[in-house]
Amino acid sequence: MDHFILFKGARIHFTDHTVKDTGGNKGRCIVLLHGFLESMAIWDEFAQSLSKRYRVVCIDLPGHGKSENIGFVHTTEMMAECVKEVLHSLMISKCVMVGHSMGGYVTLAFAEKYEHNLRGFALFHSHAAADPEEKKKDRNRAIQVVKRNPVVLINELVPNLFAEGNRKKFILDIEELIRNASSMTKQGIVNCMEGMKDRADRRNILQNARVPVLLMLGKKDPIMNFDSLKPQAELSEQIQLVSLEETGHMGFIESKEESLLAIKRFILRCHLPLKEGEE
């Protein structure tokens, strides 16, 4: 069911999938956050499956899907506040949060301030480091391209999110992602690139996590190199690494069953009874 809240004067769209489960999972909530140029539509199948047991909330982050832009920069902190407002409107005080890519950056910003509202969080093709200088320069160049013609960036970026060997196989998915991204405004795209460019290094959040963390990475991710991100899984014993073979940046399409299963297992881990002395 579609819902909207007003956040900083902008309409924010989200869905709240009710629980069909009768086996004690009723209060258990999973929040799914999509990545850059996507929308909550990427979660359709995951949400359908998870909502058999859990309450599932999907949010269109500012500038994406049916949610409006806010000002001139969508910082990860502001997007995390937006998520908090949605949860507040639903009176949800605890959840497991799963963020794909940019949604993972938002999840980390949320965890920084509201870890007490999380039973655990998953970074799905995402990570906790800030943009290095070279990447910031790339983003500035990309921002200029978008200001002239966003379609150029969208057409180049979206296929490049898939492992090279998967681009033919998933051509219909790629076309659909391009179509959906093309409905975003220039301002929405630029705002998110500005926000990602200036996001903080949040490796300390991983290091000090007091809740279970899942880091799910694609072995063939063209934009987030597996070997350079893998060490982040060593930052804390709370972190479980799942490596997806033959997968780029789009595990929910390229390794659908495997990544859904990993998320389900992770959710179970987040709801294990606490050991003595744990909060």
CA distance 115 to 267: 16
CA 30 to chain centre: 12
Q: Going residue by residue from 186 to 225, which x/- string records binding to ligand MLT, judged by CB under 6 A?
A: ----------x--------------------------x--
Q: Which of 61, 95, 102, 109 binds ligand MLT (CB under 6 A)?
A: 102
Q: How far is the CB of 155 from ligand MLT (least distance, A)?
A: 15
Q: Name the residue nearer to ligand MLT (CB basis): 51 or 126.
A: 126
Q: Name the residue nearer to ligand MLT (CB basis): 123 or 270.
A: 123
Question: 240, exposed or middle or buried, with CB in 10 Å at 0-12, 13-18, 19+?
Answer: middle
Q: Name the residue nearer to ligand MLT (CB basis): 196 or 209.
A: 196
101 near ligand MLT (CB under 6 A): yes
Q: How far is the CB of 121 from ligand MLT (least distance, A)?
A: 16
What residues have CB less than 8 Å from 139, skipping those under 6 apart? 131, 193, 194, 196, 197
Question: 73, exposed or middle or buried, with CB in 10 Å at 0-12, 13-18, 19+?
Answer: middle
Of 118, 52, 108, 99, give the one whose Cα is nearest residue 76. 108
252 near ligand MLT (CB under 6 A): no
Q: Which of 7, 15, 17, 35 binds ligand MLT (CB under 6 A)?
A: 35
Q: Which of 7, 14, 36, 110 binds ligand MLT (CB under 6 A)?
A: 36
CA distance 208 to 204: 6
Q: How far is the CB of 101 from ligand MLT (least distance, A)?
A: 3
Task: Output the CA–CA distances (angstroms, integers) from residue 233 to 73, 207, 230, 256, 258, in the order listed.
Answer: 30, 9, 6, 22, 19
Q: Which residues bind ligand MLT (CB under 6 A)?
A: 35-36, 101-102, 196, 223
